[in-house]
């Protein structure tokens, strides 16, 4: 009888543990998920610069294995002008056919000190845009935030031709051959 009560009490403690305890377990297991983030891109042009951002970012990180993944719905990018957004989705990115941009990789430099403030890491993996995957190494800054989350941030360039994206043409001139992508992710222990 006493063994049954002890067993049931132990199971209840496990089942009804607090969010904080589940978060601590997730942090110990090294699994983190995005709670908020932003991905933006910028392409200079002689007539009008092109820029957009998305706050609809799904990201995961395993601090023990170094595995990470970032997925962005292409149609979630917001532009200052509605017409630019329409052309981006319909003509250039064909977001109905290629709905996601994705990076899947692994930290290859900086993993042991990943939770130290101001750490620089290299993530090697595949960047998939417009249905075409290309190998990439992306340099990022990573470190703990005061609330226990992890911040990952950085910038990198994407050559449009590498992903079969035809640069927009304005007055017979291509707008840009590449875009600069900025990423900022706030990751919390996965539950």
Domain with 109 in it: what CATH number?
A: 2.40.128.110
- Report if residue 135 sits inside a domain: yes
Count of the separate structural domains present in the chain = 1
In a domain, 122, yes or no: yes
pLDDT digits (tens, 9 = 90+) for 62-75: 999 999 999 999 99
pLDDT digits (tens, 9 = 90+) for 67-102: 999 999 999 999 999 998 998 889 889 999 999 999
The pTM for the full model equals: 0.79
In a domain, 24, yes or no: no
* Residue 139 lies inside a defined structural domain of this protein: yes
- Looking at residue 146, its pLDDT comes to 86
81 domain-assigned: yes
**170 HSE (CA, 13 A, CB side):** 11
Phi, psi for 100 (deg, rounded to 5): -130, 150
Residue 9 counted as domain residue: no
14 domain-assigned = no
Range of the domain at 143: 30-189
Residue 3 lies inside a defined structural domain of this protein: no
Please tell me the predicted confidence (pLDDT) of residue 23: 40
Query: What was the pLDDT predicted at 56?
Result: 96
Strand partners, 52: 41, 79
**pLDDT for position 87:** 87
| pLDDT given at position 100 | 96
């Amino acid at each position: 009888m006493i063994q049954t009560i002890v067993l049931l009490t132990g199971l209840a403690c496990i089942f009804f543990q607090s969010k904080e305890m589940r978060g601590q377990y997730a942090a110990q297991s090294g699994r983190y998920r995005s709670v908020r983030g932003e991905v933006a891109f910028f392409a200079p042009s002689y007539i009008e610069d092109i820029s957009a951002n998305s706050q609809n970012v799904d990201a995961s990180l395993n601090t023990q294995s170094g595995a990470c993944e970032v997925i962005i719905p292409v149609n979630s990018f917001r532009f200052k002008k509605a017409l630019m957004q329409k052309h981006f989705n319909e003509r250039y990115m064909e977001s109905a056919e290629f709905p996601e941009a994705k990076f899947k990789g692994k930290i290859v430099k900086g993993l042991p000190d990943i939770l130290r403030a101001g750490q620089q890491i290299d993530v090697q993996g595949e960047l998939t845009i417009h249905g075409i995957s290309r190998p990439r190494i992306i340099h990022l800054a990573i470190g703990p935030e005061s609330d226990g989350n992890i911040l990952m941030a950085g910038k990198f360039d994407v050559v449009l031709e590498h992903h079969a994206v035809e640069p927009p043409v304005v007055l017979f001139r291509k707008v840009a051959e590449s875009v600069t992508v900025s990423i900022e992710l706030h990751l919390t222990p996965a539950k």
